[in-house]
Amino acid sequence: MSLLPLGLLSMVEDSLAWDGLTVQVRSEPRLRATIHRLVEVSSLEKGERAAWARFLVRGASQSLGILPASIDGLYRARARGDVPATWTTPAFNLRVLPFEAARAVFRAARKLDAGAFIFEIARVELDWTGQSLAEYATAVLAAAIAEGYRGAVFLQGDHFQASAKRARWEEKTALEALIREAVLAGFFNLDLDASTLVDLSHDRVLDQQFDNAILTASLVAFARSFQPEGISFSLGGEIGEVGGHVTTEEELHAFMHLFRRGLHALAGDLAGLSKVSIHTGSAHGGIVLPDGSFAPVNIAFDAIQRLGEVARQSYGMGGVVQHGASTLPLEYFPAFVRYGTLEVHLATAFMNTFFEHLPEEYLKAVQAWLDARYQHERRAEQSDAQFYAGVRMHALAPFKETFLRLPEEIRQAVMQDWETQFVDLMERLGCAGTRALVERWVNPRPVPFYLEDYWLEASKPAGESDLSG
């Protein structure tokens, strides 16, 4: 471990100070104007400078009262009926330019006095985007600083998914390492997804859900062993892999029966799940038609309503989660609220907005790169629009620095359109005014964090932190 590298504090015009114990904010206005420079170091460098940049941002945010938090308290209150089910929490996957995108989210939240919204990133997206969990958290916390935001910030590990192709012990070990890395970076909300292990070859639903439920129980026990004092993580499970058949009530009961028995055997009387993800007819990324538009999708809102009631009344969870929603028609979103959806996950549409703003020369370079490397994934009947829509997430990591260095006017234009998207989605999901609910039911608190952890994480070879194998 080295001392604070020369030049990092001057990059933020000495708006920060480090006394060897704590990070202190000397000038918030100067910090808000310069914090993007630490984000760039975090995003583009490795080793000690990246570690220090992330550590300084975390320390500055904590000093200002911007605190990673768990949304569990609010979800449990909703399960008890202590708060009305008048909103659905949006969880935003910010795959590209996460600092700028998160700034747009905070601007939208400020306009609507919203507090119930989540920043998340999935296990596979770490590989697609060429970033670590700590890097993503740094971008979000720095965005809060830049926008003058205060209070709870919900960071979520999305689809911490088990691979059915690897040995179970190997996947369990990999997911435990990912959970630990997430918690150290401030992710106190985790979606633990072993739905890939559901085996529909069995006749009995209990047998189909066995591996999924038992691995989920093991991961919940492991995650809760890392909870900072006074914080209860929001943990989610998943019954069926998104893209399969609509989840049934029988599957929910079978999963929860096995999960609860497994968790009790492993850890006794330990808090279980805050929520559960079900399949309702959607697909990640939507279904792209030859002209690049999206095919209509019929969402099983009756399943959301029915299974959400079971989740709350029988198992004390806040409700059910809808994945793959960002490309759905906007008129669907108020229906999510009406039918009691607890949380919706949104990703692809924001990436699409970015590519719509990308200048032609950049877009051609991306497409040429994809043509050279992913033609083997192209089906004979696919149009260009379908092909590129299906694979362009793989270009995010190789073009990461190029995108970060786009001209300011382009990044500002994307931010403006993102802000419009976020305002529209938050309004339709009933998020306006939810800041008061968050302040009532969520108690964010400072937690210890250590430079050593950032140092170890930032010193890994590129691509190692996602553990995708």
Domain residue ranges in the chain: 8-63, 69-354+400-442
**pLDDT tens digits for range 88-129:** 999 999 999 999 999 999 999 999 999 999 999 999 999 999
- CA 290/CA 284 separation, integer angstroms: 17
Contacts of residue 244, Cβ cutoff 8 Å, sequence gap at least 6 = 279
Mean pLDDT of 210-218: 97
The pLDDT score that the predictor gives to residue 281 is 74
Mean pLDDT of 129-158: 98
Using an 8 Å Cβ cutoff, are 196 and 244 in contact? no
What's the pLDDT band for 467 if we cut at 50, 70, 90? very low
Mean pLDDT of 16-26: 94
Could you list the beta-strand ranges (E) of 239-373. Answer: 275-277, 320-322, 343-346
Q: Is it the case that residue 316 has pLDDT exceeding 70?
A: yes
Q: Mapping DSSP to helix (H, G, I), strand (E, B) and coil, where does residue 364 land?
A: helix
The pLDDT score that the predictor gives to residue 161 is 94
Mean pLDDT of 125-145: 97
Domain covering 69-354+400-442, topology? TIM Barrel (3.20.20)
- CA 435/CA 43 separation, integer angstroms: 30
Q: Is it the case that residue 284 has pLDDT exceeding 50?
A: no
The pLDDT score that the predictor gives to residue 295 is 57
The pLDDT score that the predictor gives to residue 240 is 75
The pLDDT score that the predictor gives to residue 291 is 55
What's the pLDDT band for 285 if we cut at 50, 70, 90? very low
What's the pLDDT band for 298 if we cut at 50, 70, 90? confident
Residue 40, judged by CB atoms within 10 A of its CB (0-12, 13-18, 19+), counts as middle
* DSSP letter assigned to residue 5: P
